[in-house]
Amino acid sequence: MARSSRRSHHRKRGGGGNSPAWKKSKLVALILVGVIIAALVNMLMQLMGPDKNRSMLPDDFPHTFITPSDAGTDESKIIIERSSRQPKTPFKAENGEWAWPAYYCLNEACPGRGKDGKPYIFPAIDPMAQQIAEGKKPEEFSPDMAPPLMELQCPMCQQAYVRVTDNALKERYVPMNIDKYQTEEGRQMFEELKKRIQEQPH
Ligand SMILES: [Zn+2]
């Protein structure tokens, strides 16, 4: 009886709060917390840093936009707004429609491609932004909204992709094979910017 009680007493002492092992793990925990706090502070400093809102684009960078009814291969329908920052969309175009950032389809077999080989240009419509721009409250949002912007696809290839059942043929109409449309001038400005960044000492 006495022996067993002694054993249990000993066990209690061994797991007590002042053993060297416990002190060591407390120290490790403190160091870990310190490292995590330092990482968080560093992240916040970067987010709030003075360079956050500075645009690297030239003041006359030609941003490209298009309205839904002007989608197609006619580049003259593209609306150009010059600014170092991406202008807010949507904005009302001269034809009375909302203008959105212009994208184009990279698929060679795109059904929207012109006979002359020109790619299909279409607006990146953000359904949520459109309803907000129209002054709708969230409870008035239409339930059958178009897919969100992150799922932006070439509308012409998307239709073809759904129609075609042959998987080998489907590869020709990957609807997300798209890119932002830039004018030749815009592309050159981008290239110059890239070169400048690469030449900067690190
Ligand atoms: Zn397409």
Can you give the three-state secondary structure of the chain, one letter per residue? CHHHHHHHHHHHHHCCCCCHHHHHHHHHHHHHHHHHHHHHHHHHHHHHCCCCCCCCCCCCCEEEEECHHHCECCHHHCEEEECCCCCCCCEECCCCCEEEEEEEECCCCCCCCCCCCCCCEEECCCHHHHHHHCCCCHHHCCCCCCCCHHHCCCHHHHHHHHHCCCHHHHHHHCCCCEEECCCHHHHHHHHHHHHHHHHCCC
Q: Do residues 154 and 67 both lie within one domain?
A: yes
Q: Do residues 18 and 71 both lie within one domain?
A: no
Residues of the chain with pLDDT under 50: 1-16, 49-50, 52
Q: How many angstroms is it from 194 CA to the middle of ligand 1?
A: 28
Q: Do residues 150 and 177 both lie within one domain?
A: yes
pLDDT at 25: 73
Q: How many angstroms is it from 192 CA to the middle of ligand 1?
A: 29
Q: Do residues 68 and 39 both lie within one domain?
A: no
Is 114 inside any structural domain? yes
What span, in angstroms and rounded, lies between the C-alpha atoms of 86 and 189? Answer: 15
pLDDT at 83: 95
pLDDT at 181: 97
Q: How many angstroms is it from 50 CA to the middle of ligand 1?
A: 41
Q: Do residues 43 and 80 both lie within one domain?
A: no
Is 159 inside any structural domain? yes
Q: Do residues 97 and 165 both lie within one domain?
A: yes
Q: How many angstroms is it from 101 CA to the middle of ligand 1?
A: 16
pLDDT at 53: 55
Query: How far is residue 199 CA from its own chain's centroid?
Result: 27
Is 56 inside any structural domain? no
Residue ranges making up the domain that contains 22: 2-48
Is 43 inside any structural domain? yes
Q: Do residues 81 and 11 both lie within one domain?
A: no
Q: How many angstroms is it from 4 CA to the middle of ligand 1?
A: 81
Is 54 inside any structural domain? no
Is 134 inside any structural domain? yes
pLDDT at 43: 60
User: Measured at the alpha carbon of residue 106, what is the angle toward residues 101 and 112, in degrees to the nearest 5?
Assistant: 80
Is 21 inside any structural domain? yes
Q: How many angstroms is it from 107 CA to the middle of ligand 1?
A: 6
Say how many domains are in the chain.
Answer: 2
Q: Do residues 37 and 108 both lie within one domain?
A: no
Q: Do residues 19 and 72 both lie within one domain?
A: no
Q: Do residues 24 and 76 both lie within one domain?
A: no
Q: Do residues 179 and 99 both lie within one domain?
A: yes
Is 55 inside any structural domain? no
Q: How many angstroms is it from 127 CA to the middle of ligand 1?
A: 20
Q: Do residues 97 and 193 both lie within one domain?
A: yes
